């Protein structure tokens, strides 16, 4: 069984690829083929850059912010579960002590 190697790209490469799409006037799929990357990656990078531009942030800082938000949501869900468990436990022991 062969293992696939996941390629990683630098932020500079991603920014340059998006710039090429914007300035060349060529379709995204063609630019992606020319660069040797999958076209869905370039579409995603372009959408991320557009979203970052709308917010007035750098693409990398927007990704960092989204990762932090996802982490906080997971932590919040865990804390809610713990809180609910403790409420049920307190109610159980309150009934037992009567």
Give the confidence band of 80 by pLDDT, cuts at 50, 70, 90.
very high
Domain annotation covers residue 49: yes
The number of domains in the chain is 1
7 or 3, greater pLDDT: 7
Q: Is 48 domain-assigned? A: yes
Q: Summarize pLDDT for 15-61 with one digit per residue, the tens.
A: 899 999 999 989 999 999 999 999 999 999 999 888 888 888 777 78
| 86 part of a folded domain | no
The answer for 36, left when phi > 0, alpha when psi is -120 to 50, beta otherwise, is left
User: Domain for residue 79, yes or no?
Assistant: no
pLDDT at 78: 97
How far apart (Å, rounded) are the C-alpha atoms in residues 57 and 78?
30
pLDDT over threshold 90, residue 11 = no
- Taking each helix axis from N to C terminus, what angle separates 59-97 and 39-55, rounded to the nearest 10 degrees? 80
Q: Is residue 35 part of a domain?
A: yes
pTM (predicted TM-score): 0.61
32 domain-assigned:
yes
Q: Residue 50: inside a domain, yes or no? A: yes
What was the pLDDT predicted at 59? 77
66 in any annotated domain = no
Which residues are CB-neighbours of 14 under 8 A, at least 6 positions away? Answer: 45, 59
- Pseudo-torsion of CA 68, 74, 77, 81, nearest 10°? -130
Task: Say yes or no to pLDDT of 1 above 70.
Answer: no
Task: List the end-to-end C-alpha distance of the chain, in Å, as a whole number.
Answer: 63
């Amino acid at each position: 069984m062969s293992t696939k190697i996941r390629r990683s790209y630098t932020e500079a490469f991603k920014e340059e690829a998006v710039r090429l799409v914007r300035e060349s006037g060529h379709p995204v799929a063609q630019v992606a083929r020319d660069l040797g990357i999958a076209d869905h990656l370039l579409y995603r990078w372009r959408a991320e850059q557009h979203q970052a531009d709308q917010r007035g942030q750098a693409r990398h800082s927007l990704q960092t912010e989204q990762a932090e938000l996802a982490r906080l949501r997971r932590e919040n869900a865990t804390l809610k579960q713990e809180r609910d468990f403790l409420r049920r436990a307190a109610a159980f022991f309150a009934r037992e002590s009567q």
